[in-house]
Amino acid sequence: MGIRWKRFGEWNKCGECWASFERGVQHSNSLSCYKVGIPVSSLKIPLKDLLKMLKEMNMVVKYSIFGPPLSLASSGIVIIYFSSRDDMERFIKTISPLVKKPSLRERLFYSLFVNVEWKGGVSYRRGCPEYDRKFGDWRKWPEP
């Protein structure tokens, strides 16, 4: 069974980018696609309060509460999309007081399988994890 995502906000960059990926071409959208991940278990506030705040901020978000077997590694994640590193970093500073460090199990899970970096309890990366296998580690991609 796959992950059941819930979404809000308009992104409109994934379709074109994914189509290029399937042809083996790295689309420029992936170079300016920054994602922040917040494990649900790391929240210091209720998930519904965070989602309400993100909607009020007009953020582009997808989130899921994981069922078995994924729930053995993580209870779920909230992913927020950004078009620039600066916007992402400003957001991380804003949200950090509402997030605690995740468990070692969750940190390892996201670090190994999603290939993220961490700032406190918030993870981040560029593009989709699948892109790393085709185009190399996202940390080495050129800046947009």
DSSP letters spanning the chain: -----EEES----HHHHHHHHHTT---HHHHT-EEEEEEGGGBSS-HHHHHHHHHHTT-EEEEEE--TTGGGT-SEEEEEEESSHHHHHHHHHHHGGGB-PPPHHHHHHHHHHT--EEETTEEEEES-HHHHHHH--GGGSPP-
β partners of residue 79: 37, 62
Q: Residue 118's CB: how many other CB atoms inside 10 A?
A: 14
Residue 100's pLDDT band (cuts 50, 70, 90):
very high
Q: What is the pTM of this model?
A: 0.94
> What pLDDT, on the 0 to 100 scale, is given for residue 85?
96
Pair of tokens at residue 48: 């519904």
Name all domains of the chain by residue range, CATH numbers in brackets.
Answer: 6-12+27-128 (3.30.70)
- Measured CA to CA in angstroms, residue 120 lies from 30, 69, 93, 107, 140 at distances of 24, 26, 10, 10, 22
> What pLDDT, on the 0 to 100 scale, is given for residue 25?
95
Q: Find the Cα–Cα–Cα–Cα dihedral 77, 80, 84, 86, rounded to 10°.
A: -80
Polymer length in residues for the chain: 144
List Cβ neighbours of 92 (8 Å cut-off, separation of 6 or more): 36, 119, 120, 122, 124
% of the chain residues with pLDDT over 90: 95
> What pLDDT, on the 0 to 100 scale, is given for residue 2?
77
> What pLDDT, on the 0 to 100 scale, is given for residue 31?
95
